[in-house]
Structure 1
Amino acid sequence: MSEKLEVILVDVGNSSIKTTEVVNGEFINTKIWEDISQVENYYEGTALMISSVRNLPSSLLDNKNAKVLSHLTPMPITIDYTTPETLGPDRIAAAVGAIELFPNKDNLIIDVGTCMTIDFIDKSTVFRGGIISPGLKMRMKSMAHYTDKLPDISDEIQDMNSPALGKSTKECLFSGSFWGMIHEINGVIKTIEQDFTSLNTILTGGDAHFFESNLKAHIFAGSKIVQKGLYRIWKHQ
């Protein structure tokens, strides 16, 4: 079988831009970019399927080879959301990715990045809604920003431990941010499980590795959940 480049999946997040090539249904050559114009120039003339939480340049919006995901895009799920026009395309893509990876299940998607989102899509493929709250670094930065003396430790998190009780101000800031998120996530899981006992919990996002060992039963999906969702939506067109 000859190799056929089908589409470039483009995930434009708050912190990075990621592309993945789809060749004969296989995901290959994932790349990280600094600017969306680099992607547009590099893949000129190639089909693009884009999820973006940022504003995109008009050149890309007018590009006949580019499909930009929104709530109006035909997709294989139903969105039960009061303001669908405000629903992030990354959340839509992840929800579609969840039913692609784990069909016929009630899926709770925990995406830990710049912000943390927790979204629920049921086994009948209805997106039921979710929560948005600050991510790990955002919590740390906000405490430094809104006080005079608390330090910003957001660039030190790789070197920090996670004691339940900190023994220094930096440890206390880390513990408050980290364990606050852990208890928030586990609290949401417990609440949803009251109505959906066979809940499938999926962890993804750039900071997910910090939380893997401290959450209730979950599946670590890395970034492939958004990729899977974008590809499924592209095929649905």
Structure 2
Amino acid sequence: MRDFHLLIDVGNTFLKWGLFQPSAAGGARENRLESGHALLEEIPALPAQFAKYPAPSRIVISNVAGTRVRAATIRVLEVWPDAPAPYWLVPQAEQCGVKNSYRNPAQLGADRWAALIGARWLLGPRAAMVVVCGTATTIDFLSADGVFKGGTIMPGVGLMLRSLHEGTAALPDQGGEFDEYPTQTVDAIASGCQHAQAGAIERMYAHEASHVRDLTCLVSGGAARAVTPRLAIPFQYHENLVLEGLYRVSMSL
């Protein structure tokens, strides 16, 4: 395999990775060579999978899962003794054309920062609402001149389901399908959680679109497919905005 970059997105539930050809043309989708994912508890098994590849020339990682998972990820990379030290993404005041409005820039989640960088590269000088649906759902706003204005965090669909199950005596946390007029409990729960996600996204879009011209909504994340069918606003879907942003970061180093 030719020269490549390894990008890793460590979330709260999954580690997602991709091998990418470094190129000034195109983005992560166009230059992806291989990709995969693993549950966090499956990380120790990744060396056997990575051993079939030569050492990457660059490694860029976003991690929001804490120090224990960071240490497990470092052990995975030991499969390549000659690989360069990984670049751990830490949100800055400004990077790759995005300015961070957080009072403490490093307090912003690395995954949110990467997604904003990915959105900026994809859309150029256009205002964006960046929605990433995972364990949590984040909704972030990017101005046309590249300023991250701020955003919100809410429980994702799965967390909503589990909170109902754990906080009540008899409500299940799985099963059920969306229905506009549910007539059984499992469907009522699934439908309510999906409505809640879509409603929050639509409300924030309506507020931003009321005073921002040409607003584009980008939706990404592993749980996005459960939410996007309920959206009554225009949006663009991207499989993994975090990896897209990590690709831009890797190309800038």
> Into which bin does the TM-score normalised by the smaller protein fall?
0.7 to 0.9
Query: Given the alignment of the two structures, is residue 54 of structure 1 paired with residue 71 of structure 2, yes or no?
Result: no
Q: 1:183 to 1:73 in 2, by over 3 A?
A: closer
- 1:1-237 paired onto structure 2 within 5 Å: 4-25=2-23, 26-33=31-38, 34-35=42-43, 38=46, 42=51, 45-46=55-56, 47-55=58-66, 56-57=70-71, 60=74, 64-72=84-92, 75-76=95-96, 77-153=98-174, 156=175, 160-215=176-231, 216-223=233-240, 225-237=241-253
Q: Secondary structure at the match of 2:179?
A: coil
Answer whether contact 1:164 1:179 (CA < 8 A) is retained: no
201-210 or 71-80, which deviates more: 71-80
Give 5+ residue unaligned stretches, structure 1. Answer: none
How many angstroms does 1:116 deviate by?
0.4
Rounded to whole Å, the distance in 2 between the matches of 1:211 and 1:140 is: 14
Cα gap change, 1:22 to 1:165, in 2 (>3 Å): same
User: Which runs of no fewer than 5 residues in structure 2 stay unpaired?
Assistant: 24-30, 78-82
Q: Compared with structure 1, are the counterparts of its residues 106 and 39 closer, same or farther at alpha carbon in structure 2 (3 Å cutoff)?
A: farther
Q: In the aligned structure 2, how far is the partner of 1:74 from the partner of 1:45?
A: 30
My pick for the range that moved more, 190-199 or 30-39, is: 30-39
Aligned length: 229
Residues 12, 52 of structure 1: 8 Å contact kept: yes
* 1:4, distance to aligned residue in structure 2 (A): 3.5
- 1:23 deviates by 1.7
Q: Check 1:28–1:59 CA distance in 2 against 1; reply closer, same or farther (3 A cut).
A: closer
- Give me the CA root mean square deviation: 2.4
Q: Displacement, 1:235?
A: 2.1
**Equivalent pairs: percent with the same residue?**
24
Cα distance, 1:36 vs structure 2: 6.3
What's the TM-score, normalizing by structure 1? Answer: 0.87
More deviation in 5-14 or 111-120? 5-14
Contact 1:17–1:36 (CA under 8 A) maintained in structure 2: no
> Residue type matched to 1:35 in 2?
I
